[in-house]
Amino acid sequence: MDVLKFRPHHFLCALGFEGKGYSSSFVDNFQQIVDVLRSPDGDTQAIDVVGETDAICQACPEKTGSTCLSQEKIESLDRRHGRCLGIAPGDSLTWREAKEKILKTVSLSVFHEICAGCQWKDLGLCETALLKLHTI
């Protein structure tokens, strides 16, 4: 896969993705991305950090051009995640480097702070994936 483009908060979303989403086309698109990241070569996948809709957003029914129907909430999530992970639009890293940043900076309490307001948080998928990352 070519270089992926991720908003700052989508690094944790990709870590915790388990087949849930806004629509079947959104889930299919996200699954293809996660399949690449979880493949044997996935840790070397290059990712560019962006401040607009990204690879995960492409099939989202809430996407409106390069923004989102929930743009204010998304920008808040991106700011918190970007600060926590030390990433910003224009940065590039591999999936391995992203997971290392998550491991170093995102404790369970930090997770609850930076993901506050996310409608998917209460499903527990990201929390479970984060705990698993911390035990590997």
Partnered with residue 47 across adjacent β-strands are 4, 93
- What's the predicted TM-score (pTM) here? 0.93
What are the strands, taking DSSP E only, across the chain? 4-6, 46-49, 63-64, 67-68, 92-94
In contact, 93 and 47? CB cutoff 8 Å: yes
Dihedral, 124, 20, 61, 116 alpha carbons, nearest 10: 0
Domain residue spans in the chain? 4-135
Residues 6+ apart with CB under 8 A from 132: none
Please give the chain's pLDDT, 136 residues, in tens: 799 999 999 999 999 999 989 899 999 999 999 999 999 999 999 999 999 999 999 998 888 888 888 899 999 999 999 999 999 999 999 999 999 999 999 999 999 999 999 989 988 999 999 999 999 7
